[in-house]
Amino acid sequence: MHVKPGNDTQHLEFLLLGLAEDPELQPLIFGLFLSMYMVTVLGKLLIMLAVISDSHLHTPMYFFLSNQSFVDICFTYSTIPEILVNIQTQSKAITYAGCITQIHYFVLFVVLDDFLLTVMAYDRYMVICLPLHYMVTMNRRLCGLLVLVVHHACSDTILNEVVIYFAALMLAGAPLIGILYNYCKIVSSIHAISSAQGKYKAFSICASHLSVVS
C-alpha cells in the first residue's frame, strides 16, 4: 500500500503488481483481455437477445439464463475495464475507495451468479422430478420473484460489514449445497427411469445447466 501525504488528509493507494513487468508483453496482454471481454459481452448479449426475441425460449430456464447473462456482463464490467485502463496507461495505482468499490461489486455479482445457478438447478429438479407440477409451480410470477429475492438478499447482506465473513461463508456454501441437493434428487429420479432413451432425455435436459455450473 502506498501512502501520499496531503495537507490535512492522507490519500491511500494500492499498487498492483500486474501480470508482467516486460513492456513488450503489455500489448499482448491488453489484446488478450480486450478480446476476452468483447467475446464475453457479445456472447451474453446474443443470449439475452435470443431469449427475448424467440417465443420458444420464453421458459423459466431461459429466463434465468438471460438474467445470469446480464449478471455476467456486470461481473466482467466490474474488473476488466479497469485492467485495460491500467495496462494502457501503465498505471498500477488504485485508490482505496476504488479498490473497496471494485471488491464490493465483484463479490456481489459472483454471489448473484451463484444464486441464479442454484435457482436454475431447482428449475431442472422440477422438470425431471415433478414434471406434472412444473408448469403450475414455475410460473412467471414465481420466476420473477425468485430473481428479485436473489438481488435483494445479496445487496442487503454484502453491505452489512458486521457479518461479512459469515455472509461470505453462507453465500458461497448455500448455493453449492442447493445445487448438490437438487442434483442428488435428479440423479435418483434418472436412475429410476427404466428405458435408456428416457434416461438420455432426462440427462439432456440438465446438460446445459451442468455445463454452466462447470
Distance CA 40, CA 28 (A): 18
3-state SS class at 19: coil
User: What single-letter DSSP state applies at residue 9?
Assistant: S
Range of the domain at 24: 2-213
Q: How does pLDDT run along the chain (214 residues), one tens digit per residue?
A: 444 444 444 567 777 776 667 777 788 888 998 999 999 999 999 999 999 998 888 888 889 989 999 999 998 988 888 888 888 887 777 888 888 888 888 888 888 888 888 888 888 888 888 888 888 888 888 888 888 877 766 665 555 554 566 666 666 677 888 888 888 888 888 888 888 888 888 888 887 777 777 7
3-state SS class at 162: helix
Distance of alpha carbon 87 from its chain centroid, rounded? 25
For residue 206, give the CATH number of its domain. 1.20.1070.10
Number of domains in the chain: 1
Q: What's the chain's length in residues?
A: 214
- Angle between the 96-129 and 196-213 helix axes, to the nearest 10 degrees? 170
3-state SS class at 160: coil
Write out the three cell numbers for 210.
451442468
Check residue 9 and give its pLDDT.
Answer: 43
Burial 85-109 (b: 16+ CB within 10 A, else e): ebbeeeeeebeeeebeeeeebebbb
